[in-house]
Amino acid sequence: MSRIGKSPVTIPSGVEVKVDGTMVTVKGPKGELAQEIDTCVKLSVEDGTITFTRESDAPDHRSKHGLYRALLNNMVIGVSEGFKKELEINGVGYRANANGQLLELALGFSHPVVIEIPKEVKVSAQTEKGKSPVVTLESHDKQLVGQVAAKIRSLRKPEPYKGKGIRFVGEEIRRKAGKSAAK
């Protein structure tokens, strides 16, 4: 049996889980999320926990058992605590500025890059003197935060020689030695 699928999801106080056929809605202080679940996975909500069972041991059913348990766990955590991603911008002249849902980035191109952030994601940019600018993304939807962060990172991926570019805070970039001069 799936190790992930068989562990129950605990529902914290203030979070409400509603099952309507194959649609599961999770509502909490940070927001509301909905997910459609395949019919091969059954879930039951009893006294503060959600348990998952599958109808057979077919490989497809086994994989979906763990998948839907992980998705619902992320939904419960998201509506109660929320998710946060931080991106660090390294490079001379690289800047970030957040105005409402617009993120303006100066990334060494001839023009500033302006990205419109979805309304579910809260964006902020901090710039301290002598440090790289940090863009913070916060939301109750883990998938959306990760997708927006990946999109921003893809604008200028960190390069291995000088380390310039956009990277996640705490991400290790494998550095390469440059050309060695002829002797």
The terminus-to-terminus CA distance of the chain in angstroms comes to: 63
Q: What is the pLDDT of residue 113?
A: 95
Burial class (CB in 10 A: 0-12, 13-18, 19+), 96: buried
Report the run of H or E that residue 60 belongs to, with start and end: helix 59-80
Q: Specify the higher pLDDT residue, 183 or 169.
A: 169
Task: Report CA 138 to chain centroid distance, whole Å.
Answer: 9
User: Residue 69 above 70 pLDDT?
Assistant: yes
Position of tokens 């001379």?
92
- % of residues, the chain, pLDDT over 90: 78
Length of the chain: 183
Homologous superfamily of domain range 83-168:
Ribosomal protein L6 (3.90.930.12)
Q: What is the pLDDT of residue 179?
A: 84
C-alpha 90/C-alpha 104 separation (Å) is 15
For 79-134, give the DSSP string: HHT-EEEEEEEESTT-EEEEETTEEEEE-SSSS-EEEEPPTTSEEEEE--TTS--E
Closest to 26 in 3D by CA, of 63, 145, 36, 117: 36
Domains 3-80 and 83-168 share a fold: yes
Question: To the nearest whole number, what is the mean pLDDT of the chain?
Answer: 92
Model confidence pLDDT, tens digit, residues 82-123: 999 999 999 999 999 999 999 999 999 999 999 999 999 999
DSSP state of 163: -
Q: What is the pLDDT of residue 2?
A: 64
CA distances from 129 to 126, 134, 176 (A): 10, 12, 28
Model confidence pLDDT, tens digit, residues 10-52: 999 999 999 998 999 999 999 999 999 999 999 899 988 999 9
- What average pLDDT does range 122-139 have in this prediction? 93
Residues whose CB falls within 8 Å of the CB of residue 126, separated by 6 or more in sequence, listed in order: 133, 134, 136
Q: What is the pLDDT of residue 178?
A: 84
User: Residue 140 above 60 pLDDT?
Assistant: yes
- What average pLDDT does range 46-64 have in this prediction? 90
User: Residue 1 above 80 pLDDT?
Assistant: no
Considering the four listed CATH numbers 3.40.50.300, 3.90.930.12, 3.30.450.20, 3.10.580.10, the one that applies to the domain covering 3-80 is: 3.90.930.12
Three-class secondary structure of residue 164 per DSSP: coil
pLDDT-based confidence at 183, cuts 50/70/90? low
Beta-carbon-side half-sphere exposure of residue 90 (alpha carbons within 13 Å): 15
Rg (C-alpha) for the chain, rounded Å, is 21
What does the domain layout of the chain look like in residue ranges?
3-80, 83-168
User: Residue 182 above 70 pLDDT?
Assistant: no
pLDDT-based confidence at 6, cuts 50/70/90? confident
